[in-house]
Structure 1
Amino acid sequence: MIRVLVCDDQVLVRTGLVTIIDAQPDLEVAGECGDGRTAVDLARRLDPDVVVMDVRMPVLDGIAATRLLAGADVPRPVKVLVVTTFNLDQYVYEALRAGASGFLLKDAPPDRLLHGIRTVASGAALLDPEVTRELVGRFATRIRPVAPSAPGTRLTPRELEVLHLIADGLSNSEIAAELVLSPETVKTFVSRILTKLGLRDRVQAVVYAYRHGLVG
Structure 2
Amino acid sequence: MIKVLLADDQSLVRSGLRMMVDSTDDMECVGEASDGAEAVAMVRSRRVDVVLMDIRMPNMDGTEATRRIAELDVDTKVLVLTTFDLDEYVFAALRNGASGFLLKDALPEELLGAIRVVAAGGAIVAPTATRRLLDHVAAKLPSSQAPSQDKLAALTEREREVLVEVSRGANNTEIGQRLYMAEGTVKTHIGRLLSKLRARDRVGLVLIAHECGLLDD
TM-score strictly above 0.5: yes
Alignment of 1:52-71 (within 5 A): 52-71=52-71
Residues 24-51 of structure 1 show CA distances to partners (whole Å, capped at 9, x for unaligned) of 2111111112222221222211220111
Q: Match of 1:103?
A: 101
Alignment of 1:50-199 (within 5 A): 50-71=50-71, 74-76=72-74, 78-87=76-85, 89-140=87-138, 142=141, 144=145, 150-179=150-179, 181-199=181-199
Moved more, 48-57 or 104-113: 104-113
Q: Is the Cα–Cα contact under 8 Å of residues 7 and 39 in structure 1 kept in the other structure?
A: yes
Following the alignment from structure 2 to structure 1, what is the Cα–Cα distance between the partners of residues 125 and 203? Answer: 7
Q: CA deviation at 1:139?
A: 2.1
The number of equivalent residue pairs is 213
Which runs of 5 or more structure 1 residues have no equivalent in the other structure?
Answer: none
Moved more, 1-10 or 87-96: 87-96
Q: For residues 87 and 192 of structure 1, do their structure 2 counterparts lie closer, same or farther at Cα, with a shift above 3 Å needed?
A: closer
Q: TM-score, normalised by structure 1?
A: 0.86
Q: Match of 1:19?
A: 19
Secondary structure of the corresponding residue to residue 165 of structure 2: helix
**Root mean square deviation of aligned Cα:** 2.4
Moved more, 172-181 or 112-121: 172-181
Q: CA deviation at 1:10?
A: 2.2
Q: CA deviation at 1:212?
A: 0.8
% identical aligned pairs: 48
Residues 95-134 of structure 1 show CA distances to partners (whole Å, capped at 9, x for unaligned) of 1122212111112222221222112112222222231111
Q: Is the Cα–Cα contact under 8 Å of residues 4 and 51 in structure 2 kept in the other structure?
A: yes
In structure 2, what residue type is equivalent to 1:22? D
Residues 40-99 of structure 1 show CA distances to partners (whole Å, capped at 9, x for unaligned) of 22221122011110001122211121121114xx33363111111225521100111222
Following the alignment from structure 1 to structure 2, what is the Cα–Cα distance between the partners of residues 182 and 16? Answer: 42
